[in-house]
Structures are given as C-alpha cells and as structure tokens.
Structure 1
Amino acid sequence: MQISFVGLLVCAGILLVGYFCRGPLIIGLIASLAFGATAFMTLSSLGGSSPLIYTFFAVLLVTAVATRRRIWRDLGDVFGKIRPLWVLCSLMLYAIVGAWLFPRLFAGQISVFVQSPTRRGIVEAALVPVSGNITQTGYFVLGGLTAIALCVLLLQEDRIESIRRGFLLWCGLHAGMGLLDLLGKLAGAGDILSPVRTASYAMLTEVTEGGYWRIAGANSEASAFGGGALTCLAFCYTYWRKTKSRLAQGLASLLLVLLVLSTSSTAYVGLAILSIPIGLSIFRSFLGGRIDKDEILIIALIALAAATALSIVLYKEEFFAPFVHLIDSMVLSKSSSASGQERLYWNIKSLQAFINTSGLGVGLGSSRASSWPIAIASQLGLVGSVMMLTLLFVVFRGMGSLKHHVDRETNAVVSSVRACALASVVSSSLIGASADPGMFFFIALAVISTTRANARRNSRAAAKRALQFGQPAPFAPI
C-alpha cells in the first residue's frame, strides 16, 4: 500500500473548506467528487487499485454515523420510514454474493472483457474471479452505505443547506479546474493539473482532436470531464430555474461553454438528450401563455447564436470547418471508428454473457461493458436489474405531489439533485463500464427519500391540525 501525499493534502483542504461551510463531511464528500483522478493511496495487493479521495470522505461519513450513540434506534427509524432502503440492502447483499459466486460458478464457460493484469488495457479472456470483483463490489457497497448514512443524518436534522453548498462547491471546482486545464494548454504550459492526478489510471490529458485541445480538468480524460460537466450543468440549470440564483446561472453558462469545448462525444450526445425535456418544457409554457423571462432569455440567446453563426458562415464559409470536422469525428462517425466498434463489441459480449448465464449475471466487476444498463444486465442479472430499476424509479419520481409539503428552497435543492443524478445516469448509459451507478445516484436516492419522508410527516401534521380546527384535511400521498 502506497499513500499519496498530494491526495491527502487535497483531502485536508476540502475538509477545511467544509468545516468553514459548517458541513465538513457532507460538503466534503460532494466536493471531492470533482477530483476524478486524485487517489489517496494505491493498493498493490488489488492489482494497483487506487481509491479516489471521495472514498475517504464516504468512509469518514459512514464511520461517523455508525459510532453515534443512538445508531440502532436511528437505523430503525430510517428503515421504518424509508422503504426503498430495504431494496438497496437486498441489492447490496445480492451484489456481494454474486461477485463471489457467479465467476466461480461459470468459470471458463464465458468470455468477457476485463482489465489486463500485466499491461494497461482491456483484453478478452475467459471468465474467472478477478480483483475487480472485490474493488467494484467495494465501491458499490460503500455507495449504498453512504446512502443509508445520509438518510440517518438528513432524517434527524435539516441539512439541506449543506447539500446545496456541497453541490455548488462541486460545480465550481469542476468548472474552475476545467477552465484552468484549458487555459494552461492554450498558453503552452501543458497539463498544469498533473500534480493532482495521483490515480493509477491511463491519463489521456494532453490530447488534441480536430485541432482542439481536449479538456480533462481534474479527470483522467475528456470523456470523464464531459460527463461530469453534464451532471454539473443539470444541477446548476435546474437550481437557477427554481431559485433565479445568479451564482447558479453563471456556473451553468461557464459549464455550457466548457462542455461545448470539451471535444467529448459523451458530453455532446448527453447534452442533446437533456435538451429534449428542456425544449418541451419551454414549448409547453409557450402554448400555455406562461412563458417567463428566463425562457425568453434562453430563446433569445439561441437565436442570437444562430444568427451570429450564420453571419460568420456568410462572411467566411470555412470558419467552422474544424468544428464541423470535430463533431463528425466525435459524434456522427464515432460508431464506425475503431474505438466505437470495440465498445460495441464489449456490449455484444456482455449481452451474450447475460444470456449464457440464464439471466443470473457474471458478478459485479467480472466484466466490462460500454453502457450502464448493459453492464447491470450482464453483471447483476435479471434479479439485480429489477432491484436497480426500482431504485431508479425512486430517483426519477423525485418529490412528485409531496413537493407541496416542503419549502421552496428544499424543493429546489431536491429537484436539482434529482436532475444531476438523472444526467449522471444518461452519461453512464453512454459510456458506463460498471453496474455501479455512482456516488451521485446514491446521494440523490438519500436526499429524495428522506425529503419525501419528511414531507409525509409534514402532511400528516397539517392534516391533524386541520381536523382539530374542523377544516378539510389536505391530501397526503403515500
């Protein structure tokens, strides 16, 4: 085991900022997710696995909750009020058993794609137990335990302000480091953020595409930065629309620019997908005569950008040729490229593994896919997929009609966290290699579930007061 001094230094800095923001563990956990290539140690015994710094904060949070005096009473209260946690625990248990059992049960009968133990890269090999069964299952279980720990904290005390500050800090760090990375490359300084990249990943940071520098930020490659920018943009845009926050508006604008300049096909396709509900929402407001000034601003900016682009093309026709070539190579022709064909083959082999195991799966961490839904099916099987879909429905549903029983700020934060998690799911569905939905998903699950539980409590209290004064009781959804 090798300790990373730089990784620990970054952890200390985040803890200090979190302390001054009055939420060191919650804010620290969320903010640490901006450092996608910063590890605090390297585990040689597990094939050189290097846990990122967010795992340090997740372990701290789980430990702090587990050592509370009333932990068993708190857990009873949480599991009694938040039923999706039973599904989460069942899925965690199934993932642990499957990661140990299925690679041994189907050993040598199925070919899968795994990380090569001797060289960096993905190779096709016969199914056998690998170190990924331990590491990927560990990350998944840690995410589930973090969700339970957050439920304990959020159910006992109103910490929605810590959630808000944590996500805004994470968005600011992600955008700031992306901007620094781009400016450093344009100035000829190269990868100025290389000191914080302490993970044992293959770092594809000083790469160009179509004459454009690829933005990696504090991540290992442009696709990871693009996926992170997409999730940040979803949070900031939703929070801006809900609260009219100038900070969120500024961050959303900066993130949109960086996302366009990132040269990430994941970011481009994800942005196109997420633009559909936004466009439908604006169109619905227009038809209903309820369009507000922010929606008018969005339409005006789009029209201005289109008019500017048209004017430039009329003045100098070849001006956008490099960008058109970039879009063609990164999006339109991506599926026909060697990388696209390789990733397609990963997905085909993963689906074959699902069929060949009769829907049981090969076990978490046993294989590599290029799409999160396919990774779930191949690694967790039919049973695990159903449980994961149940949790995904909880996140997708959000507050629903219960939003009327919480204050506007709480509803805005919960809606923004939900949008962030769904954007993360979209990004993972495009390039996700593992069945682990990621820490954003588990945080959103905890925030939404506890807020719904608190809203139901507020609804029952309102109904009780209404009955005492002889008024009709408000409807309280389950």
Structure 2
Amino acid sequence: MNFVPVFFFWVLLLIGMVSRGPFIFYLLFGSMAFGSFAVIPPELTSGLSFTPPPIIALAIIVKYGGGTNGLSRMLDISLRPSQCLLLFVFWIVAVLVTLLMPRLFAGQILIIPMRLEEASFGDPLYPTQQNISQLMYLTISIVTVFACALAFRSAATRQHVLSALCVGGAVTVFTGILDLVGIGAYLDVFRTATYAYLVDVELSNVKRIVGLMPEASSFGSLAVGFLSAIYFFRRAISTPWIRLVAAPVLIVLLTLFALLSTSSSAYGGLGIFGCVAAVEWFWRLLTAPKGSRAREGLASEYWAIVSGLVAIYLLALVKPSLFDPLLELVDTIVFQKTSSDSFIERSMWTAVSLNALFDSWGLGVGMGSTRASNGVVAVFSNTGIAGGLLYYGFMLQTLLRRARPGDHTGALILNAVRFYTPPVVIVGILAGTSADFGVMNACIYALAAAVAWPGTSPMRAAASPAPARSKPATAPVSGGAARGQPSRA
C-alpha cells in the first residue's frame, strides 16, 4: 500500500524534471506539508528518512545546474561577494568542522544526540551517521540557494514561485482539515518516515492538529512559516485574484490551523508575526506612495482587525464562559510551559549544546553532533563561532539587499523578505533543533539574491526569456533567463 504514494511522487518528480514549465516549483512547495512521508523506503537507506522537499530540491539543482553553463553560473553566484560568498564560506566551515571536530574531541565533550532514542541525557561526542546526514541536508539547502538564485532571474519564474507559496499554504491547510475531521487512517499511508510520531495527542481536551507532520510543533511552525510568507509576499504577486482573494483566505486559514496545533512555538511565532505585521502596516501607511501596490488593502486590513477585536469584546461581555476553554488552553501551553517536562527537557538540550560549544573552544562539534532547542544555539554549536557569524552575516546581507531603480516588484519582494524573516527566526529560537535552515528559507534567500542580481536589469528580466540567437553578444544573459524559467512548483 505504501508503494502507491511513493510511485506517484516519483512520477510527479519526473514530470517536473522533463517539463519546461514551472511545475517543479509548485511540487516543491506543495510537498512541504508531507513532513512524515519518506519517498525512499527507509529500509533501503539504513534508516534515514528522505522527505519530499530535499529530494525535489536536488532535482532542481540538477535541472538548473546541469544545463549549458549552469554549473559555472551557480559557481559564479556562490563566489560573488555581493551574492552568496558568505553562505559558500559558511558551507566550507561546516564541512571542515563536521569532518574534523567529532574525531578531534571524541569522548571529551558531552552532547545530546540527534536521535533521541540513543540516549536520554548527555552522551560523549563521537562521529555518527547523523553527522553525514545532517551535513548532507545542509548542503542541499545551501546549493538550492545557488540553483534557485539562477532560476529566479526570470521575473516570470519569480511570479510562479510566489504563486507556489500559496499552493504550499493551501496543501498545509488541506492536510490540517483532514486531520481535524479524523481521517487519520487514510493519512497513515503517508507516514512512512522513521520518526517518533505524536499524532493522537490532546491538550486540555483539545486535539492537537498535526496534519502530515510528525508532531504538532512541526505542523504549527510550518503553518506560521507559510502564513508569514504569504502575508508579506502577496503584494508582489501580479495575478489579482491570487493577491486579493486566495492569499487573504489562506492567511485566515493558516492562522486558524496554527492555533489548532496548540504548539507553544507556533503561538510564539504568531505573536511575533502579529507585531511584525503591525510594523509593516504602519510602514506602508507612512512611506508607501499613494496609488502604489504597497498601500493596497490598508483600509480593509484596518477595519478587519478593528471589527474582529470589537466582536471578541462583545462576545466576552455577553458570554464570558465562551472563552474559558481557550483561556485554559493558552494558560497550559504558554503560562505553564516553563514548568512542563517538555520545557525542562528542551532547555537541557540547549544548555548541553551551548556547553559543547564552549568545551570545543568555539570551534563547534559538527553538523548533527548535538541537538538543541534553539536555532541560534544549534547553528553555533554545530558549526562553531566562525560558522555562526558567517551564516548570520549572510542573513543580514540578505535583509540589506536593494532592488535596481525602477524594479518596483523587486522592491516589494525584498521588503517582504525583511518582514518575513523575524517570525521565522523567532520560531527557530523557540524550537529549532538543527543548523539546517531548510528548503523554504533557501528559496527566500534565492529570491532576494535573484532580485538584486547585478548582471540583469529589471527590464531584461521582465522580457521574454527566449534566447536571442540573432544577437550572440547578448545570448548568455538571455539564455540564462530562459534557463531560469523552466518548470517549478
């Protein structure tokens, strides 16, 4: 029975590889909700679980890096200081630390293994299979940035990527609905990864929604990630019905399912998202010129928030007991969180991982060596102080990128990147366990790098991507745009 969805996935991936349209990008974002689906039987991979996103990302790397001059262009992106040089050096540091430090400090440093079933408390550091697997995942994410930065040079491809974000959000909502209505037996066919599942858990008599993720916290973080991306990037979408109808509906539904996940990290992410969204609203009100797309929806958003607050206030006046279950739930997962076993255990992970960084003299213990419950600690403890500074330096560079004069859509995309990042970083600080930033963030970094691409003007990027064979002198630039446009999901 498990063979059917696996076969179906590989058929879809083959179609994405051979097609010249953007299907593979839609497939990528749509697959992110299938976090418990192993597309290669784990018994064939020594127990490793390969979920759809990294496999599709590999296909994108082959698709765009394997064409004419594709590899050299990706290398140019990775070595150009204004593009991704910091990220490339971060990868080199991560490789060296992972290959050397678990052997250099073997048996001398206590860590929390990535596979928790291997230990309940700190174990001595030794090289493990997790070093290779986590380094491989990080490598896929980093090279995905290079490949997508090349693919996204076409303005048409960037529009498909923004639409694909909405598809990914819709699939996340759909899997949440299936879990909510209790069709768990039909979802088990997609739960083939060798993870520890928490799919039938109740908190304060409320079922925690997990969709097709291994647990509620991962589903809640995914919902917050898509919510933040769709909310801030929707203004750069050129198709009116997606921007004005589909995206707002998805924003409401993703907020609802992030709440239904009853994940404290998701609740924290929602809180940060609300604060950042408020800042973004005032920023648009005060700085965006009249008639621009950035000012679109200012009044409707204001009255929607005011109406919602008034409705909640009136309900609280008329029937206060209506909110008792919600208040009890919030009290359990937020205010009593610090006294829970989960909080104590996760705090211990972070403390042990941070201590491992100090015990290694700031060099780090290698990718996959230790599990933290804080994304920043995970990056620094796994890759060392040098690796952490390089990665967050690249993130800062991404936030400071500027679009070319006259590229209004590019400016909207870069503004969206700046507002998208804080909620995702905060959620990672609350519950991040790995130094791998993931395929979704890789695509966001690539969008920013592609918009700020130094060799392509906005007018040329918006033009037809077909190679200008009659003008050999301009063929390399046009050809790059053409190769940046094929299939994506």
Whole-angstrom distance in 1 between the partners of 2:449 and 2:85: 12
- Give the deviation of 1:300 after TM superposition: 2.7
- Given the superposition, is the C-alpha separation of residues 257 and 209 from structure 1 closer, same or farther in structure 2, using an over 3 Å criterion? same
- Given the superposition, is the C-alpha separation of residues 89 and 406 from structure 1 closer, same or farther in structure 2, using an over 3 Å criterion? same
Whole-angstrom distance in 1 between the partners of 2:157 and 2:460: 21
Contact 1:4–1:40 under 8 Å retained in 2: no
Whole-angstrom distance in 2 between the partners of 1:322 and 1:224: 23
Residue in structure 2 matched with residue 176 of structure 1 by the alignment: 174
Contact 1:239–1:245 under 8 Å retained in 2: no
Contact 1:372–1:430 under 8 Å retained in 2: yes
Per mean C-alpha deviation after superposition, the further-off stretch among 448-457 and 211-220 is 448-457
Is 1:98 the counterpart of 2:92? The answer is: no
- Give the deviation of 1:411 after TM superposition: 4.2
Contact 2:107–2:126 under 8 Å retained in 1: yes
Residue in structure 1 matched with residue 149 of structure 2 by the alignment: 151
Is 1:395 the counterpart of 2:394? The answer is: no
What does the per-residue CA deviation read over 1:108-166, in whole Å, with 9 as the maximum and x for residues that have no partner? 1111111458x477542111111110110000011111111222333478521331232
Whole-angstrom distance in 1 between the partners of 2:74 and 2:169: 31
For residues 17-28 of structure 1, the aligned pairs below 5 Å read: 22-28=21-27
Whole-angstrom distance in 2 between the partners of 1:195 and 1:460: 46
- Give the deviation of 1:232 after TM superposition: 0.9
Per mean C-alpha deviation after superposition, the further-off stretch among 91-100 and 340-349 is 91-100
What RMSD, in angstroms, separates the aligned Cα atoms of the two structures?
A: 3.1
Is 1:265 the counterpart of 2:226? The answer is: no
What does the per-residue CA deviation read over 1:426-478, in whole Å, with 9 as the maximum and x for residues that have no partner? 322211111111112221222211210158745999xxxxxxxxxxxxxxxxx
Whole-angstrom distance in 2 between the partners of 1:394 and 1:125: 37
SS in 1 for 2:322: coil
Residue in structure 1 matched with residue 406 of structure 2 by the alignment: 405
Whole-angstrom distance in 2 between the partners of 1:63 and 1:290: 42
Residue in structure 1 matched with residue 341 of structure 2 by the alignment: 338
Contact 1:14–1:32 under 8 Å retained in 2: no
Q: Structure 1: which 5+ residue stretches go unaligned?
A: 462-478
- Give the deviation of 1:224 after TM superposition: 0.8
Is 1:204 the counterpart of 2:202? The answer is: no
- Given the superposition, is the C-alpha separation of residues 311 and 24 from structure 1 closer, same or farther in structure 2, using an over 3 Å criterion? closer
The alignment-based identity, stated in percent, is: 25
Residue in structure 1 matched with residue 218 of structure 2 by the alignment: 224
Residue in structure 1 matched with residue 279 of structure 2 by the alignment: 280
Contact 1:102–1:363 under 8 Å retained in 2: yes
Residue in structure 2 matched with residue 434 of structure 1 by the alignment: 434
Contact 1:4–1:41 under 8 Å retained in 2: no
Whole-angstrom distance in 2 between the partners of 1:82 and 1:459: 24
SS in 2 for 1:64: helix
Q: What amino acid is the match of 1:164?
A: L
Residue in structure 2 matched with residue 299 of structure 1 by the alignment: 302
Q: Structure 2: which 5+ residue stretches go unaligned?
A: 238-242, 462-489
- Aligned counterpart in structure 1 of residue 327 of structure 2, from 305, 324, 336: 324
Whole-angstrom distance in 1 between the partners of 2:151 and 2:296: 38
What does the per-residue CA deviation read over 1:200-226, in whole Å, with 9 as the maximum and x for residues that have no partner? 111111111111111111211111111
Q: What amino acid is the match of 2:168?
A: W
Is 1:374 the counterpart of 2:384? The answer is: no
- Aligned counterpart in structure 2 of residue 141 of structure 1, from 120, 132, 139: 139
Q: What amino acid is the match of 1:215?
A: I
- Give the deviation of 1:66 after TM superposition: 3.5
- Give the deviation of 1:423 after TM superposition: 3.6
Residue in structure 1 matched with residue 477 of structure 2 by the alignment: none
Is 1:310 the counterpart of 2:308? The answer is: no
Residue in structure 1 matched with residue 62 of structure 2 by the alignment: 63
Contact 1:421–1:440 under 8 Å retained in 2: no
Alignment TM-score, normalising by the size of structure 1: 0.85
Contact 1:7–1:198 under 8 Å retained in 2: no
Residue in structure 2 matched with residue 445 of structure 1 by the alignment: 445
Whole-angstrom distance in 2 between the partners of 1:419 and 1:453: 20
Contact 1:240–1:246 under 8 Å retained in 2: no
- Given the superposition, is the C-alpha separation of residues 158 and 394 from structure 1 closer, same or farther in structure 2, using an over 3 Å criterion? farther
Whole-angstrom distance in 1 between the partners of 2:298 and 2:155: 36
Contact 2:54–2:439 under 8 Å retained in 1: no
Contact 2:226–2:254 under 8 Å retained in 1: yes
SS in 1 for 2:123: strand
SS in 2 for 1:384: helix
Q: What amino acid is the match of 1:149?
A: A
Residue in structure 2 matched with residue 51 of structure 1 by the alignment: 50
Per mean C-alpha deviation after superposition, the further-off stretch among 161-170 and 362-371 is 161-170
Q: What amino acid is the match of 2:247?
A: A
Per mean C-alpha deviation after superposition, the further-off stretch among 289-298 and 156-165 is 289-298
Per mean C-alpha deviation after superposition, the further-off stretch among 134-143 and 30-39 is 30-39
Give the structure, 1 or 2, with the largest relative contact order (CA under 8 Å, sep 6 or more).
2
What does the per-residue CA deviation read over 1:329-364, in whole Å, with 9 as the maximum and x for residues that have no partner? 111111221110111111111111111111001111
Contact 1:39–1:51 under 8 Å retained in 2: yes
What does the per-residue CA deviation read over 1:4-47, in whole Å, with 9 as the maximum and x for residues that have no partner? 54234234346658988921333322332221111112445865
What does the per-residue CA deviation read over 1:181-207, in whole Å, with 9 as the maximum and x for residues that have no partner? 21x23xxx4454222122111111111
Q: What amino acid is the match of 1:68?
A: G
SS in 2 for 1:41: coil
Whole-angstrom distance in 1 between the partners of 2:286 and 2:160: 38
Per mean C-alpha deviation after superposition, the further-off stretch among 234-243 and 204-213 is 234-243
Whole-angstrom distance in 2 between the partners of 1:249 and 1:314: 29
Residue in structure 2 matched with residue 239 of structure 1 by the alignment: 233
